[in-house]
Amino acid sequence: MLGDREIHYGEGQCLVTGVDMPNAFRVLQACHDHFFLAMSLELDRSLTGQMVKELADAVPPAARPDSGVILGTTSPELLDAFLRLACLLDTPERIPILAPLVIREIHYLLLIGPQGAGLRQLNTHGTQANSIAQATDWLRKNYRKPLLVSQLARQVNMGTSTFHRHFKEVTGMSPLQYHKRLRLYEAQRLMLAGEMDAGSAGLAVGYESTAQFNREYKRLFGEPPLRDLKRMRRHDACPSENSH
C-alpha cells in the first residue's frame, strides 16, 4: 500500500519509488518450502541528480511521471548488480571500495531502464515533479510540525492550486493526507517497537489531542491503536501468518 494505491508484485519484478511515500507491505505467499526473499536499496537523491545531469545528452528528455511509483520487470543486469552487492557481505573488507561502485551502477541501470523517464523527471532540477519531490523530502523531515499547504507551496515556488494538483499526481494523495499518514505510520511503528503507548506515540508524532489521534488512526487502520496493536502482535506470533 503506497498512499491509497494497492500494488501487487512478485517474482522477477521491482518497485521503484521516486519520492518518499508512506507505505505498508504484506507478504501474501511464503512458506517453509517456498521462501519469500526480496532486496531493497534506498536511492541516493544527490547521486541520482548528478547522474541525471551526466545522462542529459545520452537519453531522451524525461517525460512527466504519471506517479512517483513505477512497477517493472527486473532486468538481468539489474538483478546481477543486486546479487553482486549482496555477495560483498562475504568479503567485508571489499565493501568500502566496491559497494559504492555497484550502488552507482544500480542507479545508472534504473535511470536508463523502463523506470528511468519518471525517475529522471523527479530528479531534474526546475521541473514540477522535482518540486514535489523536494516537498515530500521536507515533509518527511518535518512531519511533527503543523502543515500549512500554501506555505509549503511557496517554499517550492508553486501556486497553491498547482502544487496541490501535481502533489496528488505524483503521490496519489493530497498534501494533508500525505502528512497525516506519515504521522500515523510513524506512531504505529513506535508502538510496535514497544517504545511508546498510544497516547505517547500520538504526542510524539505531532498530535496535540489523543482523541483526534485515536479517531484518525482508526479511520486509516480500521481499529483503535491498542486493538490494532494487539491484532498485529497476535498475527506476528502465528507461524501461519506471513504479513509484514
DSSP 8-state assignment for residue 63: P
**DSSP bridge partners of 69:** 17
Which residue, chain included where needed, has cell 511521471? Answer: 65
pLDDT tens, position by position, 191-213: 988 878 888 999 999 999 999 99
20 and 97: one domain? yes
* Confidence check: pLDDT of 238 > 80: no
Q: CATH number of the domain that 181 lies in? A: 1.10.10.60
Which residue, chain included where needed, has cell 501468518? Answer: 241
- Confidence (pTM): 0.77
72-81's contacts with Cβ under 8 Å and 24+ in sequence apart are 72/13, 72/14, 72/16, 72/113, 72/114, 72/115, 73/12, 73/13, 73/14, 73/114, 74/12, 74/13, 74/14, 75/109, 75/113, 77/109, 78/14, 78/106, 78/109, 78/110, 78/113, 81/105, 81/106, 81/109
CA-CA distance, 51 to 104, in Å (whole number)? 9
Within-domain flag for 167: no
109 and 190: one domain? no
Domain end residue (candidates: 122, 139, 162)? 122
Within-domain flag for 5: no
Q: Which domain holds residue 224?
A: 177-236
CA-CA distance, 46 to 37, in Å (whole number)? 29
Confidence of residue 235 (pLDDT cuts 50, 70, 90): low
Confidence of residue 243 (pLDDT cuts 50, 70, 90): very low
Q: Which residue has the higher pLDDT, 61 or 228?
A: 228
pLDDT tens, position by position, 63-80: 555 567 888 889 999 999
Confidence of residue 119 (pLDDT cuts 50, 70, 90): confident
Confidence of residue 236 (pLDDT cuts 50, 70, 90): low
pLDDT for res 60: 62
Q: What percent of the chain has pLDDT over 90?
A: 49
Q: Report the sign of the C-alpha dihedral through residues 159, 165, 169, 175, in that order.
A: positive
pLDDT for res 244: 32
Within-domain flag for 156: no
CA-CA distance, 120 to 9, in Å (whole number)? 23
102 and 192: one domain? no
Number of separate domains in the chain:
2
Which residue, chain included where needed, has cell 481499529? Answer: 223
Within-domain flag for 76: yes
Within-domain flag for 181: yes
pLDDT tens, position by position, 26-36: 888 888 888 88
Cα–chain-centroid distance for residue 58? 28
107 and 200: one domain? no
